[in-house]
């Protein structure tokens, strides 16, 4: 594939055209997979022999946790693209993804708490996994707050990109630090991706569908929000031009 | 660069320079803790290393916005940026000056405050060592945060929001060293991690801080 | 040694303000930048000083030859006049600042904290900083603000002495310094066109 062709989508106009075309597809795919995956998971899977019906929250918990991390990774990649190639769309995509990622983190935390209540007998335990997500949530908060605080678009894009880079390193460090600090005295998230051998096929397939649904949902939301950011930016550019013409 | 370091230290020592503010804050936090959790010495012994680390971290945080904001306001930062001193040198020196005027006094004061919290006898050594190793990282990371928010009016709250998550690894390993030391356990692993984080931030973060500062001076 | 600016386009807040700016400054020359408020004089000087990147165009200047003085003087209120000057001298790798004290008649003030100076005295201290740097090209943004007539004469004298030793000065000012040899540059002629294609946000239109 010709790499230059790919960068064409860094042109805002081209991006909006493509996004307009792609958005209904991804939104539709997200709706279909999420609805079918959740119905399958909630009503057509047996209760776990140990955890009873509470286990069904994994159909929200695991995919949202997955997207919470992937959203940050996407922001890292788009931030790097902005720093290296200075495509405005890339920076705006990072900005658009951040609130989505933050909400995903929040969903993962809340569903984790709801799941933890019957399982561990407490709403919150300083389990390394949960703690890491709490820290990730704080990183999202800081990143979004920095975007909001700076008026100049390019300055904000530069600063948030560097923050995203530095933050990624520290988030990773925090993950290891937290693991070290509390070596999973609790039961841990027993049904998670890296322990997939523990998950029977009967839970695994609907979970896969739900994860696909969350991926599509994320893509649709980011496309939509990036489009909005581009239009807002375009409006500011038009206003600036008007002021200069006057 | 030495001139800049000496100037920053001199400014901090002079009236209104903020030297001692962090120390007083540290003292007050530590004094307030027993009021909050109760005066039982056994309980205080258990939480002393963590409280002292947290107090030092907050005292450090308090003075971060002075690192660059004052030089930004009076135009010195513009002039320094056009001087022969490289930007990486400026932020490194600023961080060093901050550590010498804030971090180091905190390290020195920590044992005295440890007395107030009934820190176990074995804990003093490791408390001092862990703070001595960890506070430079706090200053360097703080300088990065200060560089990010330097152009903003009322950036203080945002600065805390940005810097605190970055402080997590340092706090965890630093407090772990102090706690294990106080309880007489082996401290090697967290000590090495703490030293590694400090060395890593000192080596790499000034480049990020300098890049950020250049963007903010545009 | 000379300062050469060619085809320079500069932006403030992402919006181009001046385009096609060109001039050459050679040894012993002074150039006064003129133009109405908001035209981009400060942005031009900051760009030449290297504080912000130009959108396009070239600035040819020998390395380590330029010193910038902006609206703010960078004076520390709690340091004395002498300490302020000696700090900047050391930053630029120099030691001696007696000449600067003399040129701006700061001798009687040298042990006073800079915070106790009047606005005009502070400005004199800020300008005295230029002399201790030993740099050849002075880039000055409104250097005469809050100076009285006598101090303006002091400043004009310092500039003339600087030019006489082969120095250069580029400044934005509205006051006539009596520097007859200085050239004028009215940047109004370089005002960026609103429909410019080099617009940062051009891709968004």
Q: With 50 as the cut, is the pLDDT of residue B86 above it?
A: yes
Interface test with A, best of B144, B150, B165, B216 (most A CBs within 10 A): B165
Stretch B176-180: mean pLDDT, rounded? 91
Stretch B33-40: mean pLDDT, rounded? 91
Please answer yes or no on whether B76 and C76 come within 8 Å at the CB atom: yes
Q: Where are the domains of chain A?
A: 14-245
Please answer yes or no on whether C201 and A13 come within 8 Å at the CB atom: no
**Could you give the CA distance from residue C95 to residue C84 in angstroms, rounded to a whole number?**
12
The pLDDT score that the predictor gives to residue B141 is 96
Chains that touch A (3 or more CB pairs under 8 A): B, C
- Average pLDDT score, chain B: 90
Q: Which residue from A145, A162, A170 is facing B166, i.e. has the nearest CB?
A: A170
Length of chain B in terms of residues written: 218
**Could you give the CA distance from residue B49 to residue B128 in angstroms, rounded to a whole number?**
10
Q: With 70 as the cut, is the pLDDT of residue C74 above it?
A: yes
Please answer yes or no on whether B148 and A163 come within 8 Å at the CB atom: yes
Q: With 90 as the cut, is the pLDDT of residue C92 above it?
A: no
Judge whether C173 and C142 are in contact, CB under 8 Å: yes
Q: Where are the domains of chain C?
A: 28-51+62-186
pLDDT band at B108 (very low <50, low <70, confident <90, very high): very high
Tokens of C42: 């400060």
Stretch B126-139: mean pLDDT, rounded? 94
The pLDDT score that the predictor gives to residue A154 is 85
Tokens of B154: 């009322």
User: Which residues 53-112 on chain C approach chain B with CB closer than 8 angstroms?
Assistant: 53, 64, 66-79, 83, 87-88, 90-93
Q: With 80 as the cut, is the pLDDT of residue B51 above it?
A: yes
The pLDDT score that the predictor gives to residue C136 is 87
Please answer yes or no on whether B75 and C50 come within 8 Å at the CB atom: no
Judge whether B22 and B62 are in contact, CB under 8 Å: yes
C contacts of B84 (beta carbons < 8 Å): 64, 91-93
Domain formed by C28-51+62-186, architecture: 3-Layer(aba) Sandwich (3.40)
B contacts of A86 (beta carbons < 8 Å): none
Judge whether B60 and B138 are in contact, CB under 8 Å: yes
Q: For a pLDDT cut of 70, what percent of chain B falls above it?
A: 99
Please answer yes or no on whether C203 and A13 come within 8 Å at the CB atom: yes
Strand partners, C32: C171, C184
CB pairs under 8 A between B and C: 73
Whole-model pTM?
Answer: 0.89
Q: For a pLDDT cut of 90, what percent of chain B falls above it?
A: 62
- CA torsion, ordered A51, A53, A59, A60, to nearest 10 deg: -90
pLDDT in tens, C22-36: 888 888 888 888 888
Weakly modelled stretches of chain A, pLDDT under 70: 1-9, 48-51, 183-200, 244-246
The pLDDT score that the predictor gives to residue A71 is 95
The pLDDT score that the predictor gives to residue C202 is 52
pLDDT band at C198 (very low <50, low <70, confident <90, very high): very low
Q: With 50 as the cut, is the pLDDT of residue C197 above it?
A: no
The pLDDT score that the predictor gives to residue A183 is 67
Please check whether residue A239 touches C, CB under 8 A.
Answer: no
The pLDDT score that the predictor gives to residue A51 is 66
Judge whether B146 and B207 are in contact, CB under 8 Å: no
The pLDDT score that the predictor gives to residue A200 is 66
Stretch C90-104: mean pLDDT, rounded? 85
- CA torsion, ordered B75, B76, B80, B83, to nearest 10 deg: 80
The pLDDT score that the predictor gives to residue C17 is 86
Q: Which residue from C194, C200, C204 is facing A244, i.e. has the nearest CB?
A: C194
**Could you give the CA distance from residue B202 to residue B196 in angstroms, rounded to a whole number?**
10
SS3 A124: coil
SS3 C137: strand
- Which one is predicted more confidently, B152 or A244? B152
Stretch C54-82: mean pLDDT, rounded? 87
- Range C161-165 contact pairs with CB under 8 angstroms and sequence separation of 24 or more: C161/C103, C162/C130, C162/C131, C162/C138, C163/C28, C163/C29, C163/C30, C164/C28
Please check whether residue B83 touches C, CB under 8 A.
Answer: yes
């Amino acid at each position: 594939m010709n790499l230059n062709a790919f960068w064409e989508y860094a042109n805002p106009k081209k991006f909006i055209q493509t996004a307009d075309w792609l958005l209904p597809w991804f939104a539709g795919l997200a709706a279909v997979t999420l609805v079918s995956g959740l119905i399958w998971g909630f009503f057509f899977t047996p209760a776990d022999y140990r955890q009873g019906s509470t286990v069904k929250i994994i159909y929200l918990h695991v995919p949202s946790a997955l997207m919470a991390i992937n959203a940050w990774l996407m922001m890292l990649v788009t931030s790097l693209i902005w720093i290296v190639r200075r495509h405005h769309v890339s920076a705006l995509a990072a900005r658009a993804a951040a609130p989505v990622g933050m909400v995903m983190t929040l969903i993962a935390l809340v569903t984790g708490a709801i799941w933890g209540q019957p399982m561990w007998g407490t709403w919150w335990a300083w389990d390394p996994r949960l703690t890491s997500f709490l820290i990730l949530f704080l990183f999202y908060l800081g990143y979004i707050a920095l975007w909001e605080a700076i008026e100049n678009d390019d300055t904000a894009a530069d600063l948030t990109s560097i923050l995203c880079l530095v933050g990624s390193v520290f988030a990773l460090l925090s993950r290891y630090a937290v693991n070290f600090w509390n070596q999973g005295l609790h039961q841990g998230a027993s049904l998670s991706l890296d322990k997939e051998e523990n998950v029977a096929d009967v839970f695994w397939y609907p979970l896969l569908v739900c994860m696909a649904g969350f991926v599509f949902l994320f893509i649709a939301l980011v496309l939509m929000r990036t489009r909005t950011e581009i239009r807002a930016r375009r409006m500011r550019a038009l206003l600036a031009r008007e002021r200069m013409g006057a | 660069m030495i001139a800049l370091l000496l100037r920053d230290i001199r400014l901090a020592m002079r009236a209104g320079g903020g030297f001692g503010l962090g120390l007083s804050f540290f003292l007050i936090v530590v004094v307030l803790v027993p009021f909050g959790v109760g005066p039982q010495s056994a309980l205080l012994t258990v939480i002393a290393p963590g409280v002292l680390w947290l107090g030092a971290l907050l005292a450090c945080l308090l003075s971060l916005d002075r690192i660059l904001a004052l030089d930004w306001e009076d135009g010195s930062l513009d002039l320094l940026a056009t001087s022969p001193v490289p930007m990486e040198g400026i932020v490194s020196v600023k961080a060093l000056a901050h550590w010498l005027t804030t971090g180091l006094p905190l390290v020195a004061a920590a044992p005295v405050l440890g007395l107030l919290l009934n820190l176990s006898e074995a804990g003093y050594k490791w408390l001092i060592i862990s703070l001595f190793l960890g506070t430079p990282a706090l200053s360097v990371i703080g300088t990065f945060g200060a560089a990010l928010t330097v152009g903003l009016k009322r950036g203080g709250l945002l600065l805390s929001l940005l810097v605190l998550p970055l402080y997590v690894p340092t706090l965890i390993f630093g407090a772990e060293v102090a706690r294990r030391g106080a309880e007489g356990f082996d401290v090697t692993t967290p000590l090495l991690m703490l030293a590694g984080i400090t060395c890593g931030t000192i080596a790499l973060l000034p480049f990020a801080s300098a890049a950020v500062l250049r963007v903010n001076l545009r | 040694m000379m300062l050469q600016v060619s085809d320079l386009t500069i932006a403030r807040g992402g919006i181009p303000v001046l385009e096609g700016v060109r001039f050459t400054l050679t040894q012993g020359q002074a150039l006064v930048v003129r133009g109405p408020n908001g035209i981009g004089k400060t942005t031009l000087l900051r760009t030449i000083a290297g504080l912000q990147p130009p959108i396009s165009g070239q600035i040819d200047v020998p390395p380590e030859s330029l010193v910038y003085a902006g609206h703010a003087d960078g004076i520390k209120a709690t340091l004395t006049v002498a300490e302020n000057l000696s700090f900047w001298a050391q930053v630029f790798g120099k030691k001696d600042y007696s000449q600067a004290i003399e040129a701006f008649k700061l001798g009687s003030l040298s042990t006073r904290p800079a915070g106790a100076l009047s606005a005009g005295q502070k400005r004199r201290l800020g300008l005295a900083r230029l002399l201790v740097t030993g740099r050849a090209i002075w880039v000055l943004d409104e250097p005469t603000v809050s100076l009285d007539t006598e101090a303006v004469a002091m400043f004009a004298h310092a500039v003339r002495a600087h030019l006489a030793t082969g120095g250069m000065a580029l400044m934005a000012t509205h006051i006539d310094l009596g520097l007859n040899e200085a050239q004028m540059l009215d940047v109004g002629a370089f005002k960026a066109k609103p429909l410019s294609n080099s617009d940062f946000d051009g891709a968004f239109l």
